[in-house]
Structure 1
C-alpha cells in the first residue's frame, strides 16, 4: 500500500489545505487528538449588505488504536460550530465514522465521511473563500456522496509503483434514505481510480443510484475527471475538474460542470489563486443549453502564524442571463477574514 496514502487517510481523510490537530493523549498504541478551526469574516455582495459571517467552522475529535499485525482502527466525530447566532443548535454533525486501516490490505470506513468521490473531485476545492460551489449545491449533497457522505461504507487502497508512480482505488456504498430535493434516494454506489507521478495526478470517479419523486423513478449518474499538479500552498499548484451529471428523473436531464484553479505560494506563505467555475444544463424538452452558474474568483491567503491564516477574495458573477436567455442581475461577492486552526 502507498504509505503516503495511509498517513493521509488516517490523519484527515480529506484534501484539506491545512490540517492542524493537538494530540491530547498518546500511550501504548492509543492516541486521542482534537482539531478543527474557527473563522470570522466580513462579507458582502452586489445585492446584499455587508455582514459578519463564518467559513465552515468545525471541531473534531479523533482516536486511534494500534491493533497489531499492521492494523490500526480510528474513530472521528466532527461537528459544525454555529457560534454567531444566539439560540438554536450550537453544533451539528459533519462527520462520524469508524475506520480500519492496514498498510497492505487498505482502508475501510463506515459512517458519515469524506467520500472516495471527493478524492478525485476535490482537487480544486482548496481556497478558503470561494471554490467548488457546484459540488455542494442543493440540500442533499451528502446523500449523493460527492463530498461528505451520509451513511456510507467505503474501501480505499493505494499501490506504490516506485519510479512508475502510485495508483489509488476506491469504492463505496450508501443505503436508501429520504431527501429534500428528492423524496427518496435508493442505494448508491461509487468507484474511483487515480494515478500519481512526479507531482502530477489524474483521476476518474463515478457515482450512480436511483432517485424517486412524485411516483417516478430514474437514475442519477455522475462522472468526474480531474487533473492536478503540485501541492496547494507550496509553490505552483494547478488543478482542473469536469463533472457530467445525468439525471433521468427531472426536466433538466444533463449538466456539465467545470472548475479550474491556478495558485502560487511564495516562500513567506502568501498564496495567490484564481479559479473559474461554470455549469451548463440541458433542457430535456427542447434540448436547449443554458449557463446556470459562471464565476471567476481572485483570492489571497497568508499564514500570520502556523495556525492562523488570513484570507480575502472577490468572486465575479459572470452569469447575466437566466435559463430562458433573459437578462438577469449579477451578484458578485467579496470576503475578508481570518481562520484559526485548533
Structure 2
C-alpha cells in the first residue's frame, strides 16, 4: 500500500483546503492529537438582500494511533461540529467516529461514521471553503455519498511503479437509519504522476415513505490533475443517479418537492495557487432531473468565483461570489456571496 496514502489515512486527513493538528502525546508507539478549525464569515443574497453571520462548518477532532507491531497501525478518531455562534443543547454534534487498522501491504479497514470510498471518487471537487459541492450532501450520511454513517470499509493502494498506482475501496452500511435499508459501494481508480481517474458505484434500497421502496443507486466518474492549493488543480465529477436526490435541499423555493427518479450531477473546478499562497478558483455545479413527475430539466445550476489566502499556514481568509445560472423549478435568481476567515487548530 502506498506509504503516502497510509500516512494520510492514519492521520485521518479529510478533503479540504488543508488539515492540521496539534500532537499532544507521542511515546512508545502511541500518539494523540487534537485538530479541527473554526470559521466565521458574512454571507448574503445579492438579489434578496440581507447578511447573515455564519460559521462555515467548524469542527474539533481527536485522533489517537497505536503501533500494533508486524506493520499494523490502529487509529481512532472522533470529530464533532461546533455550534459556537448560538448557545443551547446542540453545541456539539457528531461528524466522524471510527476505529481503523492499516497495514503497508494489506490495506486499511475502518468501522464507524467515516468519509466513504464513494467520496474518495466523487469528492475531489469539494475543495473551496465558501462554495463547493452541494449534491453530495443530500442525505449523505444514510446514502454514503459523503460522511457515511454505520459503515464498514476497506481500502488499498497498490504501487505499480514510481509514478503509477491503482487503488480501490469497498463499503457497507447497515439499515440503522430510518427510511434506508443496508447499502454497499465499490470504488476503483488509478493515479499516474499528477493525474487521477476513478469510478464508484453506490446502491441500496430507500424506504422513506415518500416513494415507497425503491433502489437508490449512483454511478460516479471523476478525474483530476494536481493538488489543490499547490499550483494548478483541475477536477471534474459526473454522477448518474436513481432515487438519490430530492428537490427540497437546494434552496430552490420550488412548490414541488420529492425524490427524483432519475438525475445527473455535475461538478467542475479549476484552481491555481500562487507561490504567495493566494489560491484562485472557479467552479461549476448542476443537478439535472429526468423525472416528468417532478422536474424534467435543471434542478439548479451555479458557478462560483473564489479566492483563498493563507496569512499564516493556519489562518486563512476567503471570499466567494456564486452566480445562480437558472433552474426549471423556479424563476427567481439567488446569487450569493461569502467573505470570512478560518483558523486551523
Show structure 1 runs of 5+ residues with no match. Answer: none
Q: Residues 16-37 of structure 1: CA distance to partner in whole angstroms, max 9, x if unpaired?
A: 2201100000000000000000
SS in 2 for 1:162: coil
Aligned residue number for residue 120 of structure 1: 121
Cα distance in 1 for partners of 2:312, 2:71 equals 36
Cα distance in 2 for partners of 1:78, 1:128 equals 18
Aligned residue number for residue 190 of structure 2: 195
Matched, 1:108 2:109: yes
Cα distance in 2 for partners of 1:244, 1:170 equals 19
Matched, 1:232 2:228: yes
Change (3 A) 1:65 1:225: same
- Map 1:30-69 onto structure 2 (within 5 A): 30-45=30-45, 46-69=47-70
Cα distance in 2 for partners of 1:302, 1:9 equals 26
Q: CA deviation at 1:89?
A: 1.3
Q: CA deviation at 1:47?
A: 2.2
Cα distance in 2 for partners of 1:66, 1:228 equals 33
Given that residues 167 and 196 in structure 1 are in contact (C-alpha distance below 8 angstroms), is that contact kept between their aligned partners in structure 2? yes
Q: Residues 248-293 of structure 1: CA distance to partner in whole angstroms, max 9, x if unpaired?
A: 997731001100000001000000000000110012559x721001
SS in 2 for 1:153: strand
Q: CA deviation at 1:40?
A: 0.5
Cα distance in 2 for partners of 1:178, 1:71 equals 32
Paired residue for 2:326, among 279, 303, 319? 319
Cα distance in 2 for partners of 1:321, 1:107 equals 44
Matched, 1:217 2:213: yes
Cα distance in 2 for partners of 1:116, 1:251 equals 24
Structure 1 length-normalised TM: 0.93
Show structure 2 runs of 5+ residues with no match. Answer: 246-257
Given that residues 13 and 114 in structure 1 are in contact (C-alpha distance below 8 angstroms), is that contact kept between their aligned partners in structure 2? no
- Map 1:193-342 onto structure 2 (within 5 A): 193-214=188-209, 216-247=212-243, 252-285=260-293, 289-322=296-329, 328-342=331-345
Cα distance in 1 for partners of 2:91, 2:263 equals 36
